[in-house]
Amino acid sequence: MENLRFRAIAETFRHKKIEYQMPTKKPSEYFGEMTFNHSAMKEYLTDESFGKVMSAIEKGTKIEREAANQVASSMKAWAIAKGATHYTHWFHPLTGSTAEKHDSFITPEAGGKAIENFRGNELIQQEPDASSFPHGGIRNTFEARGYTAWDPTSPAFILGNTLCIPTIFVSYTGEALDYKTPVLKSSFALDIAAKAVCKLFNGDINRVFATLGWEQEYFLVDRALFMARPDLVLTGRTLFGHASAKDQQLSDHYFGTIPERVKEFMKEFETEGHKLGIPVKTRHNEVAPNQFECAPVYEEVNIAVDHNQLIMYLMENAARNHNFEILFHEKPFANINGSGKHNNWSLATDKGHNLFAPGKNPKENLRFITFLVNVLMGVNEYQDLIRASISSASNDLRLGGHEAPPAIISVFIGTQLTNLLDKIEASNDKSGLNEELKAGLNINVPNIPEILLDNTDRNRTSPFAFTGNKFEFRAVGSSANCAKPMLVLNTILAKQLSTFKQEYDALIEQGVEFEDAVYQIIKKYIIASKRIRFEGNNYSEEWAIEAEKRGLVNIKTTPGTLKTWVNERIIKLFEDTNVLTKRELEARMMIRYEKFTKKVQIESRVLGDMATNHIIPIAIRYQNTLIENVRGLKEILDLQTYGKVSKNELEIITAISHHISEIKRGVDKMTEQRKQANSLEDEEAKAIAYDEQVRVSAEQIRKHIDKLELMVDDELWPLPKYRELLFVR
């Protein structure tokens, strides 16, 4: 068959059913077997070294060289026993994916022999030739060195035959060039600040850490069909395609039966994930056809971020093993739901408390309200930064559609908590406030756990929703590295909690007693952060108007959000908490401008090529057969009949000409816009030009292509259509 698309479909059905060989053991028996976890460390390390690693993990102490040598040699023994031949430092450069460079354990010896070797300094640090990683101007070419350094808090693991060691990545001058470094620093800042506040309520807390449970949405597309679409191959999304007659309108995919081939794929990546200690738990069909979700049990944030990156890798591999391609893009198909990555975020203590969960006694409830209100205060103060933390060229296409939260950040807390906060706010003299709340504490507040357990009032439209014992940050994009939004939330809360503590200390100094001091500040915060709370429909137009009145930012696309990172207030936030320096923030901003521009540039070029090389020639070919036909009719029919019969065809011929010339005109215009934009020196101006001109032209071109798709003979149409991409499995 000549048609590329039909060939792809035929290919799809030539596939044999592929089954994944499940291990014969129970998951609990192989869970974590490919990680250098506590039990592996216990087995391979001396008690002393084990103690040192555990102290590094739990208390942040440094591991000296000698101990590192011992850890390296044990790690090597463990990895070789598991079949590893190579090792790599595994890190998260600012490209957004992960990087690795494999080295063999082999070291040559005299006499033509070799031994497997892995020393402490190879574990602790490496110097990858990393001049091609994004650095936003931090590294000049003459100081192009970068270092990776071992993160002992995230367990080493084996992928294939390679021992992977999670590391941070910094420049010669010590600046962070990755996502992990600021996550670790923000966790440190949060621990200090949250612990200090926590100790007001429980004296015995030694550590506070953020927890993250991500929910990863994705699409699966048959691999043969995927390969027949250059836009999917090169940009991860369809740049055009008419809506399928049936897509998600019946909501018959959501939580439906998982198709057999998809289930085999899920079994594979989940099992491989379990071997790597990733606690994957939930799987289900999502709203859109061929859209699915996976979610693990939550973990400490740094590990959860690593595990999300790792699972995305495992999913890509497993998909290919089952002749699928996985799409993590936020909006692979127009007019149907895109994909997000809900980040469920909470705070835990070393004693097992969840600080965002209502407690079992009045004091714990007061602690809960304190943390809750501090989150509201922090989100209110830094809503612009939270918005900036989720922006990307691909997430721009999803936010604000009627499927995902808008670009306005607000917090949903539910009716019960709203009533509680309103009550606190309404008590207008201090003694009255205290009396009511003290009384309330004995009667109402301890009931909160019960009430909240029954609380089914959920707001799926909110970008940042309290869901009983955690906040769910829903605006994060499906392809994003969770590190960015997580480090932002941690940093904001760290700063906010230390402000709270300062205010509290000042009141105590004035002789105010504990509960009164806490209540005074809470009440002030409730009032000050009121505008950030929104319980209504975030998708509605009324909300955009209301939000503007409240002074909340509503920046719809990425270029407009990026300056936020270098705003004085934000630099101060990151410097006060010691998470990122001004130079690092500036560099990151530059990288984001460039990344945005390049992504849109690639999309625009691919669209131009496809329009010119695929669509226009086919439309002309079809138009020619119509013209042939009309000419033939003229030969065989009398003039009057011909006039009647040819009318419809002539209309189609004219319409095709119209769309072809609009496409041609659009592509020329878009190419000119790219040229103009490329000549701009300023990265911000360039990104804005790509956003406001190139992207807009691309959308116009798309409309005409989609119209042609409806007209041209199905057999001639060269590219798989939405109905095939979404329903063939």
- Contact residues toward ligand ADP (CB under 6 A) are 211-213, 215, 282, 295-298, 344-346, 354, 469-470, 472
CB under 5 to 8 A by kind: which of ligand ADP, Mg ion, none does 297 bind?
Answer: ligand ADP
User: C-alpha distances in angstroms, 199 versus 93, 195, 202, 204, 361?
Assistant: 36, 6, 5, 7, 16
CB under 5 to 8 A by kind: which of Mg ion, ligand ADP, none does 211 bind?
Answer: ligand ADP
Closer of 470 and 702 to ligand ADP (Cβ): 470
Closer of 162 and 344 to ligand ADP (Cβ): 344
CB under 5 to 8 A by kind: which of Mg ion, ligand ADP, none does 593 bind?
Answer: none
470 binds Mg ion (CB under 5 A): no
Token pair belonging to 441: 């504490």
Contact (CB, 8 A) for 559 and 388: no
CB under 5 to 8 A by kind: which of Mg ion, ligand ADP, none does 298 bind?
Answer: ligand ADP
The amino acid at 217: E
721 binds Mg ion (CB under 5 A): no
Q: Shortest Cβ distance from residue 494 to ligand ADP (Å)?
A: 17
CB under 5 to 8 A by kind: which of ligand ADP, Mg ion, none does 35 bind?
Answer: none
CB under 5 to 8 A by kind: which of Mg ion, ligand ADP, none does 90 bind?
Answer: none
Q: Shortest Cβ distance from residue 300 to ligand ADP (Å)?
A: 10
List all residues 6 or more positions away from 598 whose beta carbon is below 8 Å from its beta carbon.
none
Paired with 210 in beta bridges are 347
DSSP state of 611: I
b/e sequence 510-535, b meaning 16+ C-beta within 10 Å: eebeeebbbbbbbbebbeebeebbbb
Round to the nearest angstrom and report the end-to-end CA distance of the chain: 21
CB under 5 to 8 A by kind: which of Mg ion, ligand ADP, none does 282 bind?
Answer: ligand ADP
CA distance 57 to 129: 28
Q: Shortest Cβ distance from residue 293 to Mg ion (Å)?
A: 9
H-helix or E-strand containing 327? strand 324-327
CA distance 343 to 460: 14
Contacts 24+ apart (CB under 8 A), 625-628: 625/713, 626/652, 626/653, 626/656, 627/653
Q: Shortest Cβ distance from residue 463 to Mg ion (Å)?
A: 12
Closer of 356 and 565 to ligand ADP (Cβ): 356
Contacting residue, 342, 533, 695, 704, with Mg ion by CB under 5 A: 342
274 binds Mg ion (CB under 5 A): no
726 C-beta neighbours (distance < 10 Å), count: 27
Closer of 195 and 242 to ligand ADP (Cβ): 195
Query: Which of the ranges 337-345, 375-383, 665-673, 682-690 carries the binding residues for Mg ion, by CB under 5 A?
Result: 337-345
Q: Shortest Cβ distance from residue 281 to ligand ADP (Å)?
A: 7
Closer of 275 and 342 to Mg ion (Cβ): 342
495 binds Mg ion (CB under 5 A): no
Paired with 531 in beta bridges are none
271 C-beta neighbours (distance < 10 Å), count: 20
Q: Shortest Cβ distance from residue 215 to Mg ion (Å)?
A: 5
Q: Shortest Cβ distance from residue 96 to Mg ion (Å)?
A: 23
Q: Shortest Cβ distance from residue 213 to ligand ADP (Å)?
A: 3
List all residues 6 or more positions away from 357 whose beta carbon is below 8 Å from its beta carbon.
346, 368, 449, 468, 469
Closer of 417 and 626 to ligand ADP (Cβ): 417
CB under 5 to 8 A by kind: which of ligand ADP, Mg ion, none does 469 bind?
Answer: ligand ADP
DSSP state of 172: T
Interface residues toward Mg ion, by CB under 5 A: 215, 342
